[in-house]
Structure 1
Amino acid sequence: MNHRTTDGKKRIGATETSFTIIELLRDHPGATITTLAEETGRSKSTVHNHLQTLRGMGYVVHEDGSYHLGLGFLDLGNAARERWNLYEIAKSEMDDLVSAVGERAQLMVEEQGKGVYIYQTKADAGIQTDSHIGATVALHATAVGKSYLAHLPPEELEPLQKQIDLDGRTDRTLTDWETLETEFETVREQGYAFNDEERLVGMQAVGAPILNDEGEALAAISVSGPTTRMSGEWYRQEVPEMVTQAARVISIRATYS
């Protein structure tokens, strides 16, 4: 069965079912056919057929009556990330940044109106949340996203505004473009953005853009940590200095590599 998206484009039902199963196995490793059938709303026989196809292609494995993602996805993931040479350019600088700050850092690029983390690293004391390499995040509710959006030229920002759902992740999330655009002005002036518990309660972050030689955003990086440690002058002044310096170095390397 074929479906149509809200913009009228066709979607292939069988393909959608396979990827729904894949995403469920990502979120629930070891799921059974019964669980997958309940979650997808498909029959057990339909789910079984999709799983057998994915097993034959090396993307799903069957162990003790349950299913897991196969290692075939590693090759696909690496190929997707290699499209962004920023990963190799930024890695060492971000590792140094984490050593200096003692928290967690991430490198984000934008794709189809969402932020996608293509690299993440953390210190031993860094807090692991639901974010990980490959995770998508809301651009309007993150320091990386806001620093990226603030440095886009109008002809690139305007189409993105139509794709971004300004939903409230917490009661501190900015959910209208007028307020965001006012904040973008501040971000451009100071060179970095804050995330004051706008995505997750108890977590704050500082983000800065990776810019090309015309001052336009290519990507963004951020450092995030718990409010108990990311506070005061350390959070408001010292961490931003380190994050923006790292972003400048990565920007130079990206421009001239």
Structure 2
Amino acid sequence: MADSDESGGRGLKSVERSFEIIEYLRQVDSSTLSETAEDLDLAVSTAHIYLTTLLKTGYIVKEGNEYRCSFEFLQTGGERRDEMALYQAAKPQLDELQEETGEHTNVTVEERGYSVQLYKSQSPKSIDDDASLGDHFYLHLTATGKAILSKFSEERVTEIIDRRGLPALTDDTITDEDVLREELKEIRERGYSINQGEHFPGVCAIGTAIVSEPDGALGAISISGPLSRITPERIEEELAPALLNTKNIIELKIRQYE
């Protein structure tokens, strides 16, 4: 989910075009020179210049006649993630929570009005939306996203809704702003959010924000699994207490890093 010129200022078209090509290769996995030129409406000679330049940087590679993104992005993103106190504190606790509950657990952060998945501890017994690390989601349709939104000011929520909208991925996605704001009030009172098939059909998740003063919501953690197992009774009696206990431990660990 890329945005063009979010600052509203002037940008270099060549840089923008380079990242358009990178995003294109990410989406299609691999592409030839002619395919890239045709799909991006570029002259073949122009596409060749961009691809050759990106090859020199190491951020794309060429295998036969196919171009694809390289693992440089893994190193860049991995280093950024590994330096985060939230990730360092959350990873071992989420592994424990996954073993305790038998369901997937994960941690996300907010960036540019999206929720970004940093880490997921997967249980062989459970299922979820099968999202990859680094995937970007709309905040209003995931448990972690709604938990993060619940910690934002009304003005910040308005800004994100105006910027990203409230698109639906399933029939259960909240697309009405008033309904969303009412749910955010309930999340603040309850301490955790619930996503019942709003992001992926048949999957339920509960989430809670990780808070650190004075930074506010650093991110959020969640437990997810099939709707048939993540029942209201189980949420109230087992999963919510376990999730909130894990939240407390993570927040205490983060304070030790400060």
Q: TM-score, normalised by structure 1?
A: 0.88
Change (3 A) 1:129 1:26: farther
Correspondence 1:201-220 to 2 at 5 A:
201-213=201-213, 216-220=216-220
Rounded Cα–Cα distance in structure 1 between residues aligned with 2:92 and 2:206 = 19
Equivalent residue for 2:188?
Answer: 188
Alignment of 1:53-202 (within 5 A): 53-82=53-82, 84-127=84-127, 129-154=129-154, 156-202=156-202
Structure 2 segments unaligned to the other structure (5+ residues):
none
Please give the alpha-carbon distance, in whole angstroms, between the structure 2 residues aligned to 1:215 and 1:191: 18
- Report the 3-state secondary structure (helix = DSSP H, G, I; strand = E; otherwise coil) of the residue aligned with 2:11: strand
1:14 aligns with 2:14: yes
Give, in angstroms, the shift of residue 74 of structure 1.
Answer: 2.4
What amino acid maps onto 2:177 in structure 1?
A: W
Residue in 2 that maps onto 1:23: 23
Task: Please say which of residues 222-231 and 92-101 is displaced more in the overlay.
Answer: 222-231
Distance 1:131 1:175, change over 3 A: same
- Cα distance in 1 for partners of 2:35, 2:126 equals 34
The whole-number CA distance in structure 1 between the counterparts of 2:240 and 2:156 is 26
Q: Is 1:254 matched up with 2:254?
A: yes
CA-to-partner distance for each residue in 1:180-217, whole Å, 9 max, x for gaps? 12111211111110001111112211111101257942
**CA contact 2:128–2:225 (8 Å) conserved in 1:** no
Q: 1:255 to 1:162 in 2, by over 3 A?
A: farther
Using the size of structure 2 for normalisation, the TM-score is 0.88
Determine the C-alpha separation between the residues in 2 that align with 1:216 and 1:72. 32
Does the CA contact (< 8 Å) of 2:128 and 2:203 recur in 1? no
What secondary structure is seen at the aligned counterpart in 2 of 1:160? helix
Flag the 1:38–1:174 CA change in 2: closer, same or farther, 3 A. same
Separation (CA, whole Å) in 1 of partners of 2:128 and 2:232: 22
Q: How far is the alpha carbon of 1:153 from its aligned partner?
A: 3.6
Aligned-residue offset at 1:156: 4.2
Change (3 A) 1:226 1:24: farther
8 Å CA contact retained: 1:102, 1:125: yes
Using the alignment, how far apart are the partners of 2:32 and 2:144 within structure 1? 37
- Asked whether the equivalents of residues 127 and 203 of structure 2 are also in contact (C-alpha less than 8 Å), the reply is no
Q: Output one character per residue of 1:16-51: Cα deviation in whole Å (capped at 9) or x when no partner.
A: 222122122223223222332233222222222211
Look up the equivalent residue of 1:149 and give its one-letter code: L
Equivalent position SS for 1:68: strand
Partner Cα separation in structure 1 for residue 151 and residue 72 of structure 2: 37
Q: CA deviation at 1:101?
A: 2.0
Distance 1:135 1:241 in 2: 27
Q: Paired residue for 1:42?
A: 42
Distance 2:139 2:123 in 1: 24
For structure 1, which segment, 71-80 or 105-114, has the greater mean C-alpha deviation from structure 2 after superposition?
A: 71-80
Question: In structure 1, how many angstroms separate the alpha carbons of the residues matched to 2:176 and 2:158?
Answer: 14
**Alpha carbons of 1:35 and 1:129: their partners in 2 closer, same or farther (altered >3 Å)?**
farther
Q: 1:38–1:247: structure 2 CA closer, same or farther, 3 Å change rule?
A: farther
Q: Aligned partners of 1:190 and 1:128: how far apart in 2?
A: 24
What's the CA shift for 1:144? 0.3
CA 1:138–1:253 in 2, change beyond 3 Å: closer, same or farther?
same
Letter in 2 for 1:40: L
- What letter corresponds to residue 39 of structure 1 in structure 2? D
